[in-house]
Amino acid sequence: MAEGQMVLRMAPLPGAELVQRPLQLYRYLLRCCRQLPTKGIQEHYKHTVRQSFRVHSDEDNPERIQQIIKRAIEDADWIMNKLPFPLKKKRDPGTN
């Protein structure tokens, strides 16, 4: 493996392995938000993404930026796996 290359477990959406720069991360995380089950949850996490982006906007250490990117993708994976969805499948009314 090349130096500085990230190793990601499972990613919430395809393309996580291509995220190398903060703006790519920002767009990727906003795409993840669109996959969340309700508008309320989507808006909550979009706000969180924007706040984190602002907090780290002055970071200029390349190693630290890669750490932040890796952690953000891992956190998105955790959130996407924790929430009860996909909700596309309807339950049979006769089951509990």
Q: Report the chain (96 residues): mean pLDDT per 10 consecutive residues.
A: 43 76 94 90 95 95 95 90 56 47
Query: What does the block give as tokens for 39?
Result: 């508008």
Closest CA to 23 of 63, 61, 68: 68
The verdict on residue 89 lying in a domain is no
The verdict on residue 51 lying in a domain is yes
The verdict on residue 25 lying in a domain is yes
Work out the end-to-end distance of the chain between its first and last CA atoms, rounded to an integer number of angstroms: 49
CA–CA dist 68, 26 (Å, integer): 11
Q: Which domain holds residue 76?
A: 19-82
pTM: 0.71
Angle between helices 39-55 and 22-34 in degrees, nearest 10: 170
Number of domains in the chain: 1
